[in-house]
Amino acid sequence: METILVLAPTEPHGPPGRPALDALGAAKDRGAVLGGADLRVGLVGGSVQPAARSIATCGAKQIFAAAGPDFSQPRYATDAAATEAVCRVAATSLVLAAGTARWSRVLPGVAQRLGGRADTHVTNISADCGKVSVNRWFYRQRMEAVLQRGQRPWFILVDPGSQPVWRGDAGNATVETVAVDLPASCQRTTVLGVREPTAAAQTIRPDAELLFVTGAGWTKKQADGQTHAVEAEELIRIFLQLSRASLGSSKSLVDLSGEGQAVLSFLSHLNQIGQTGATPRHPKGLSTCCHGEEPHTVGWRFINERRAISLDPNCGWARGKADVLYVADAFAVMAKVNELLASPANA
Ligand SMILES: Cc1cc2nc3c(=O)[nH]c(=O)nc-3n(C[C@H](O)[C@H](O)[C@H](O)COP(=O)(O)OP(=O)(O)OC[C@H]3O[C@@H](n4cnc5c(N)ncnc54)[C@H](O)[C@@H]3O)c2cc1C
């Protein structure tokens, strides 16, 4: 029978983050599917007690931890040493973790050390007659495959946002500390600090309810024969502030910015959605001034409810790509939306 270890890095002085709770949710759900597979949790971090207490009621048979100042920062050598040690002690056949940048970098290497295999970008785990399968998408989310593997341990990196997040009460937890042999060669890299955009400049918000997507139409000549880039930027900036939506873009608009035409100062190629961009997961999406062409909308695959505002009634959105298309001027619509969001009734 399969046994499952969920690996979770702890946030500084706090519980595991949302992606780790997604992986825990997947493991809890699938434990039953896998015939009541035993669940264990492995924590890695500077201080693991708050994290252990926060997941105490998840039903894990054991909670292992590699803890201490050496593990408080993401660093390949120490992360790999810690997870290798935890996996050896836990000795489970399946190892689940969130497919974050940190674990995606580390776990394939750990799988290699343990003679196992790793699969990334997993969106579903199922079992039939005791055989475990995982789903993942290929070719920029156009084809879905179902995979099985004979090798164990099998490291499964679950795409954040694809699983029901685990929620439960905090409680008392017993943590079994795992000793990690850390040679000096693992400590050559020193993390000096973190550089990140200020909260106001951070427009990519994976946890947002809404993905707000901007297209090249914001830069086009409008009914008065003029472009209105400054007004566009202001409308979008205010909407993002009020709604806390995540900002996406079509390739055309990102490319314009890259060519030196300042369109939206807070837009970068990281915002691009589509075949050569990102495929984010959000409950809702609103596209504005964008044509809805296939290479763009393929990036909308995991958006549950899609709406679009375009002046063109024959755009791609109208041809089955959106649930609702507003054939309207996005400048006027977003000005009204901002007004409503800012009204005291919505405060
Ligand atoms: C190999 C390949 C990969 C690609 N990958 C991607 C990708 O990853 N992501 C991506 O986005 N594209 C991608 N593309 C490009 C894609 O095919 C389109 O060219 C691009 O998405 C078009 O961007 P757009 O809709 O913003 O601009 P446009 O096609 O110029 O559309 C602008 C729209 O704005 C509307 N509009 C103008 N003013 C207003 C207004 N006031 N109110 C409302 N609507 C208005 C217009 O009616 C028009 O429909 C790829 C193309 C190729 C060949």
Per-residue 3-state assignment (H helix, E strand, C coil) for the chain? CCEEEEEEEECCCCCECHHHHHHHHHHHHHHHHCCCCEEEEEEEECCCHHHHHHCCCCCCCEEEEEECHHHCCCCHHHHHHHHHHHHHHHCCCEEEEECCHHHHHHHHHHHHHCCCEEEEEEEEEEEECCEEEEEEEECCCCEEEEECCCCCCEEEEECCCCCCCCCCCCCCCCEEECCCCCCHHHHCCCCCCCCCCCCCCCCCCCCCCEEEEECHHHHCCCCCCCCCHHHHHHHHHHHHHHHCCEEEECHHHHHHHHCCCCCCCCCCHHHEECCCCECCCEEEEEEECCCCCHHHHHHHCCEEEEEEEECCCCCHHHHCCCCEEEECCHHHHHHHHHHHHHCHHHC
Distance CA 119, CA 207 (A): 24
User: Hey, which of 252, 288, 314 would you mutate to test ligand 1's pocket, going by the most ligand atoms within 8 Å of its Cβ?
Assistant: 252
Is residue 19's pLDDT more than 70?
yes
Query: Closest Cα to atom 11, ligand 1: which residue?
Result: 250
Query: Residues of the chain with pLDDT > 90: what percent?
Result: 73
Environment class of residue 211 by beta-carbon count within 10 Å: exposed (0-12), middle (13-18) or buried (19+)? buried
Which atom belonging to ligand 1 lies closest to the Cα atom of 216? 26
Determine the average pLDDT of the residues in 206-213.
93
Cα-to-centroid distance, 192 and ligand 1 (Å): 41
Angle between helices 330-342 and 229-243 (to 10 degrees): 40
CA of residue 261 to ligand 1 center, whole Å: 17
Q: What is the pTM of this model?
A: 0.78
CA of 250 to the centre of ligand 1 (A): 6
Question: Is 276's C-beta closer than 6 angstroms to any atom of ligand 1?
Answer: yes
pLDDT category at 50 given cuts 50, 70, 90 is very high
Q: Is the CB of 253 under 6 A from ligand 1?
A: yes
- Per-residue confidence band for 89, with pLDDT thresholds at 50, 70 and 90: very high
Would you state the pLDDT for residue 234? 95
Q: Which of 257, 310, 314, 331 to mutate to test the pocket of ligand 1 (most atoms within 8 A of CB)?
A: 310
Which range (9-18, 131-140, 219-228, 288-297) has the least confidence? 9-18
Which pLDDT value is given to residue 182? Answer: 94
- The chain-wide mean pLDDT, for the chain, equals 91
Angle at 322 between CA 164 and CA 228, to 5 degrees: 110
Does residue 125 contact residue 77 with C-beta atoms inside 8 Å?
no
For residue 141, pLDDT over 90 is answered with no
Report which secondary-structure segment, H or E, holds 9: strand 3-9
Instruction: Inform me whether the pLDDT recorded for 75 exceeds 70.
Output: yes
> Is 309 a pocket residue for ligand 1 (Cβ < 6 Å)?
yes
> Taking residues 13-38, what's their average pLDDT?
78
pLDDT for residue 190 is more than 70: yes
Cβ of 331 closer than 6 Å to ligand 1, yes or no, is yes
Residue 32's pLDDT is 61
What is the C-alpha separation between 290 and 282, in angstroms, rounded?
A: 18
State if residue 49 touches ligand 1 by the CB under 6 angstroms criterion.
no
Is the pLDDT at 319 greater than 80? The verdict is: yes
The DSSP-derived string for 174-221 is -EEE------GGGG-----------TTT----TT-SEEEEE-GGGGS-
291 C-alpha to center of ligand 1: Å? 5
User: Is the peptide bond preceding residue 160 cis, with omega within 30 degrees of 0?
Assistant: no
pLDDT given at position 22: 87
What is the structure's pLDDT at 16?
84
| Cα(275) to centroid(ligand 1), Å | 12
How is residue 135 written in tokens?
A: 């789903």
C-beta 298 within 6 A of ligand 1 = no
Query: What percent of the chain has a predicted confidence (pLDDT) above 70?
Result: 95
> Is the pLDDT confidence value at 140 over 90?
no
The answer, yes or no, to whether any atom of ligand 1 lies below 6 A from the CB of 14, is no
- Taking a C-beta distance cutoff of 8 angstroms, is the pair 244, 208 a contact? yes
User: What would the two tokens of residue 181 be?
Assistant: 């042999």
**What average pLDDT score do residues 2-9 get?**
92
Mutate to test the pocket of ligand 1, among 251, 279, 337 (most ligand atoms within 8 A of CB): 251
315 lines ligand 1 (CB under 6 A): yes
pLDDT category of residue 200 using cuts at 50, 70 and 90: low
**pLDDT at position 18:** 84
More confident residue, 259 or 76: 76
User: How far is ligand 1, taken at its centre, from the CA of residue 168, in Å?
Assistant: 43
* Two structure tokens written together for 15: 């519980």
Kindly indicate the confidence band of residue 38, based on its pLDDT and cuts at 50, 70 and 90: confident
Atom of ligand 1 nearest to the CA of 249: 11
- Residue 308 pLDDT > 80: yes
| pLDDT score, position 48 | 93
pLDDT digits (tens, 9 = 90+) for 97-125: 999 999 999 999 999 999 999 999 999 99
pLDDT reading at 12 higher than 80:
no
Rg of the chain in Å (alpha carbons) = 23
Identify the pLDDT of residue 5: 96
Nearest CA to ligand 1 atom 29: 291
329 or 37, higher pLDDT: 329
